[in-house]
Amino acid sequence: MNYIHYRGYEASVEYDVHDQIFVGRVLGMIGIISFHASTLHGLHEAFQRAVEDYVSDCTGQSESV
């Protein structure tokens, strides 16, 4: 399993052969925060968006990437 990091958050990354996409899941959360993309670049962008959305939901305000 591989891991990526952004703003202090860590996510596990796997490749789904059946759907031919990369799938990630943010670690250390009570709830599930997952994301996916068909390219590695897209996966990093999806991870950053997921973290930013999470932070925005927690703080009640919008933050830019």
Q: How far apart are CA 42 and CA 62, in angstroms?
A: 21
Q: How far apart are CA 6 and CA 20, in angstroms?
A: 24
Whole-structure pTM value: 0.85
Q: How far apart are CA 45 and CA 39, in angstroms?
A: 10
Res. 61 pLDDT band, cuts 50 70 90: low
Q: Where are the domains of the chain?
A: 2-58
Which pLDDT tens digit goes with each residue over 27-60?
998 889 999 999 999 999 999 999 999 999 988 8
Cβ count within 10 A of residue 20? 8
Tokens of 47: 């991870």
